[in-house]
Amino acid sequence: MPNAARADLLGPLLKSVSRSFYLTLNVLPGPMRDPVGLAYLLARAADTIADTSLIEPARRLSLLLALRAAVGGDRSDETRAAIRSMAGEVAGQQALPDEKRLLESLDAALAVLDELQAADRGAVRDIVATLTTGMEFDLRTFPSEDAGTIVALRDMAELDRYTYLVAGCVGEFWTKMTCAHLPETFAEPVDTVIARGVRFGKALQLTNILRDCSKDLRIGRCYLPAPILVKHGLTTASLMAPDGSTQARPVLVELMATALAHYRAAADYTFSIPRLSVRLRLACVWPILIGLKTLRLLAANEAWLDPSKISKVSRNDVYRLVAGSTAFVCFDSVLRGWMERMMGEIEAKLGTSVVA
């Protein structure tokens, strides 16, 4: 594809749909940037398809599976027709122009995918296949957004698998891309680093689940496992009661403890990157600090299940975290101390102590 079109796809368009994650993408070492950025674009397009509530779930699932097939190399007439449908049928339902443009750019994104080196192309196909499996799980497990019913996950194992499918796999992909393009980065065994990378992704996704719980409940999705609710005398309906935040505080404490244990593995992952690999370190430090800041807001939020009181890190706070961490990225003791203090503050709010 023409260089200008490729640059637009992986530049302005990527920036417009990736929000704060673009900070991480933009700071990555050059060899990793295109495959990681393209994987993000394709996954974001898939997520937009899966979340377009004005299209009934069965149709969304059909289009999602078609996109997965196209990313996997299927260029049949049927799959091409489905891609064209996404550019019209789904794009036409988007309120945000950037989301519409992303769906209309799928042919261009697939062309860039075909131009990647074979190893990178295979890695992108694998990560998109796994991420779309998580989206497929959502569409098959939960009712339609206007059904008026709520379904909870069956158990902690299902939650753990889900956090792998939609985020833990990204840590695995990220690590494999690092090893492929910057092979001398990690001194520790690859399997050890990959396991930490998976926990890194799970930490971020569990944070998102807790932050967005109130909104998800109102579209019928409860990612808090049913056995944990039962243990604390709760039901999905009671989570939406006026005192739901107070009643469900023990659930928040339990799942945040799990998230913090994952964050400690994420910190170990980050400090295994050489201090002079500044770009790669920053790409890991920023989501950790933003995630921990989100957990700290959640821990202090007495109305965490009120959809009008979402625990969201402000843009100014993001800039401060970015500036501070950039200054100290090469100083392990300072950076680790910062992370540990944030975790300690969260634990103090929760009244817990977490061991990795």
Eight-class DSSP state of 297: H
The structural domains of the chain, with segments of one domain joined by +, span 1-141, 148-356
Alpha helices in the chain (DSSP H): 3-8, 14-18, 21-27, 30-51, 57-71, 77-85, 97-104, 106-115, 118-141, 156-163, 169-181, 190-211, 213-217, 226-231, 244-247, 249-271, 278-300, 315-328, 332-350
What six digits make up the tokens of 7? 């640059």
**Amino acid at the residue 91:** A
Q: List CB contacts of 148: < 8 A, sequence separation 6 or more.
A: 220
Q: Are 112 and 10 in contact (CB under 8 A)?
A: yes
Closest CA to 262 of 288, 234, 280: 288
Instruction: Output the CA torsion sign for 302, 346, 213, 48.
Output: positive
Partners of residue 114 on adjacent β-strands: none
pLDDT per residue as tens, the chain (356 positions): 667 777 778 888 888 888 767 777 878 888 888 999 999 999 999 999 999 888 899 999 999 999 999 999 998 999 988 888 887 777 777 767 888 888 889 999 999 999 999 999 999 999 999 999 999 999 999 999 989 999 999 999 999 999 999 999 999 999 999 999 999 899 899 999 999 999 999 999 999 999 999 999 999 999 999 999 999 999 999 999 999 999 999 999 999 999 999 999 999 999 999 999 999 999 999 999 999 999 999 999 999 999 999 999 999 999 999 999 999 999 999 999 999 999 999 999 988 644 44
What CATH code is assigned to 148-356? 1.10.600.10
Closest CA to 282 of 15, 17, 25, 16: 25
Number of C-beta neighbours around residue 28 at 10 A = 21
